[in-house]
């Protein structure tokens, strides 16, 4: 169960990273959105570290 949960969290982490990359490459990136995504990614990383 923990393995499936951590796999799902890793997938979500990768998805957030992809969204950050895509947004950063836009001509006029939304800095507020990028910061929100980075915070979500950090929370996931911290949660993964606790597993």
Domain count, the chain: 1
State the Cα–Cα distance between residues 6 and 51, nearest whole angstrom.
8
Position 1 scores a pLDDT of: 58
Predicted TM-score (pTM) above 0.75: yes
State the Cα–Cα distance between residues 21 and 25, nearest whole angstrom.
6
Per-residue pLDDT 10s for the chain (51 aa) are 568 888 999 999 999 999 999 999 999 999 999 999 999 999 999 998 988
State the Cα–Cα distance between residues 6 and 37, nearest whole angstrom.
19
Position 6 scores a pLDDT of: 87
Query: What is the extent of the structural domain holding 18?
Result: 2-50
């Amino acid at each position: 169960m923990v393995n499936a949960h951590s796999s799902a969290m890793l997938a979500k982490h990768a998805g957030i990273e992809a969204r950050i990359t895509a947004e950063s490459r836009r001509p006029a990136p939304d800095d507020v959105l990028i910061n929100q995504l980075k915070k979500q990614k950090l929370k996931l990383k911290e949660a993964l570290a606790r597993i």
